[in-house]
A and B are shown apart, each in its own frame.
Chain A
Amino acid sequence: MAFLELRNLEKSYGATRVVKDFTIGVEEGEFISLLGPSGCGKTTVLRMVGGFETPSQGAIFIDGKDVVALRANQRAIGMVFQAYALFPNLTVAENVAFGLKVGGVGRAERGARVAEMLALIGLRDLGDRYPFQLSGGQQQRVALARALAPRPKVLLLDEPLSALDAKIRVSLRTEIRAIQKRLGITTIFVTHDQEEALSMSDRVVVMNGGRADQIGTPFEIYNAPTSRFVAGFVGTLNTFDAVVTDQAAGGVTLDDVPLVIGRRLPVAAGQTVGIALRPEAVQLGRDPSREVVLPAKIVEVHFMGAVVRIAAEVAGRKFTIDTFNRVDMPPPAVGKSVEISIAARDFLILSDPVEGGQPRL
């Protein structure tokens, strides 16, 4: 059994099922992200683990013990909230000491643990400050220290970076991950930001409509999405419905343009299959090492600094192409006719059924 195990979790509010048959095992010390759009049930799953919502069905095991019947204050979890939730009437040190005091830890041990935690978050000298005297980033670090001080078994992070500005967000996510690794604490992180999820996690759970659509390492989620939703939600994607001409060899036609995918396809000849391409997998210009070369016309160019995002029209469809900025290669002009090259291995095949020739989404 995994250290933290969620088994067939369900949550309904009246007739609305917000979490459906959610199952995952999280190993000790693992960092798992629940990623999805708002309303996908990710926060509800987190709150059920925390004890703030009661599952309609299913079980939650922490360290082999079923905790569903336990109240939030009996579960030995630490939680960090989006809104910091520091106690305004207590100093930073008192906030960090709160859980220890409630747990009956003696004064001397408490003081030592608070000092250790403040050192861990790099705010050793701010113990006497009140929360309102700190910046947002500092407050969230204190909230992290407060959650970690009583040595919880599981750390829950509920969109802790969403209220911060962009630069702090990036630095704090590196810091959180470093602290998590150092302490080896099992962590669930809820976010709607794919970059956060991909950069911080051991594994990512992409949630959609209350279900876990896909569970995998960031590399797997990005490079081998199994559903149209995951493919579309994580990163930018060109998706098409192609008609299969040869199931075994992976032959399809896209508006009468034949393409060879080079792998066995999940559906028979004559049927429609969803295929997808990451913008960075499409190369501008002819590359003889790539199997597919198509004529295209540039329709939009967005220079974004390190990356140049180009929209090109191919067989009446718009492809998004990402290329790295190069000093010796200015972006192409709008209206220019070019060729694009694609390697067959870069085509992603989406396994969702395409009902009646139409994609499910």
Chain B
Amino acid sequence: MNRFMAWIAFLFGATYFALPLLGMAEFSLSMRRGVYSLDAYRAVLADPQFQATFAFSVVMALFTIAFGILLVVPTAFWVRLKLPGLRPLVEFLTLLPLVIPAIVVVFGYLRLYNTSSWLPMTGTAMGTNILLMFGYAMLALPYMYRAVDTGLRAIDVATLTEAAQSLGAGWGTILAQVILPNVLPAVLSGAFLTFAIVIGEFTMAALLDRPAFGPYMQILGANKAYEPAALAVIAFAITWACMALIQLVTRFSKHARAQR
């Protein structure tokens, strides 16, 4: 009886999530009257705007991931090793992006870094891109920090660090050759989450006026009928591919096997 109820609940949940998706997918295939076709997908993929904005967002995501790793791994390592008392504070700080809306942050950026400020980052496209990357890194911070911190918890950071030091390694070597490889599955799961966030982000990119994928989805949605549905399916596929990659990396890493 219990099992039966559980199945009912599962099927209800699955239907609740799957039906709208199926409806959207069905709609995205219905561009040609009377038959299913991939016309909408073809139109989207052929659109130079799609290619340009998607490429821009992918590059931004890669830079955001690199910056996030450089920021978070040493921070989480140092907090765990030397300043364990600061952990609650750092955890609180990394949670703030979930509480403060992106629009508030971006207005703060515009106020601090506009062309008449002491650091006019919005004066050039490159400066604005860098600003946008900082914003993305901040949005991804809660996920990145938690992923890395959980990874660090699984290894004996203090002893491994001392072992490496006794063998002559400096901080750079320790971080790059001892700590990072051992938290790599965690870092990668944080990286894929970052990728998914950056690909879909709208507010910051739109308000900083950068040609990113998020604003493109919005413009397309406001002006076309079938293409937005196709685009949404593509975006879902990208996100799910990221999730699958997290699973794969976690499953096939030597370190993860060692933990079991």
Contact = CB atoms under 8 A, between A and B. Distances in A.
Contact of B165 (A52, A86, A132, A146): A52
Interface in A48-69: 50-52
A72 interface: yes
A89 interface: yes
B168 A147 contact: no
A81 B168 contact: no
Contact of B166 (A78, A87, A131): A78
Contacts of B254: 88-89, 130
A195 B42 CA distance: 78
Interface in B132-187: 155-156, 159-160, 162-170, 173, 177-178, 181-182, 184
Given A73-B169, A73-B170, A102-B173, A87 B159 contact: no
B156 to A, nearest CB: 6
A71 B165 contact: yes
A98 B167 contact: yes
Given A87-B160, A87-B178, A89-B182, A73 B255 contact: no
Contact of A79 (B160, B162, B173): B162
A127 interface: no
Q: What band does the interface of chain A fall in when counting residues whose beta carbon is under 8 Å from B?
A: 20 to 34
Contacts of B159: 81, 83, 85
B167 A132 contact: no
A88 B167 contact: no
Interface of B: 155-156, 159-160, 162-170, 173, 177-178, 181-182, 184, 254-255, 257-258
Interface in A117-149: 130-132, 143, 146-147
A288 interface: no
Nearest to A103: B168
Contact of A73 (B155, B165, B178): B165
A77 B167 CA distance: 7
A84 to B, nearest CB: 9
Nearest to B260: A132
Contact of A52 (B156, B162, B184, B257): B162
A89 B162 contact: no
Interface of A: 50-52, 71-74, 76-79, 81, 83, 85-89, 98-99, 102-103, 130-132, 143, 146-147, 150, 156
Given A51-B165, A87-B178, 8 more contacts: A73-B168, A74-B168, A76-B168, A81-B162, A86-B163, A102-B164, A147-B166, A150-B167
Contact of B155 (A51, A77, A88, A132): A88
A81 B165 CA distance: 13
Contacts of B162: 50, 52, 72, 79, 81, 85
A309 B182 CA distance: 51
Contacts of A72: 162, 165-166
B168 A102 contact: yes
Contacts, number: 75
Nearest to B178: A87
A79 B168 CA distance: 11
B169 A102 contact: yes
B184 to A, nearest CB: 8
Given A83-B159, A102-B173, A88 B166 contact: no
Contact of B255 (A85, A89, A147): A89
Contacts of B170: 73
Contacts of B166: 50-51, 72-73, 77-79, 147, 156
B168 A85 contact: no
B66 to A, nearest CB: 21
Scoring A51, A74, A132 by chain B CB atoms within 10 A of each residue's CB, the highest score goes to A132
Contacts of A83: 156, 159
A99 B167 contact: yes
A243 to B, nearest CB: 52
A98 B257 contact: no
Nearest to A72: B165
Nearest to A81: B159
B98 to A, nearest CB: 32
Contacts of A103: 168
A67 to B, nearest CB: 13
A128 B170 CA distance: 26
A74 B164 CA distance: 12
A13 B168 CA distance: 27
A220 B57 CA distance: 75
A131 B156 CA distance: 14
B213 to A, nearest CB: 35
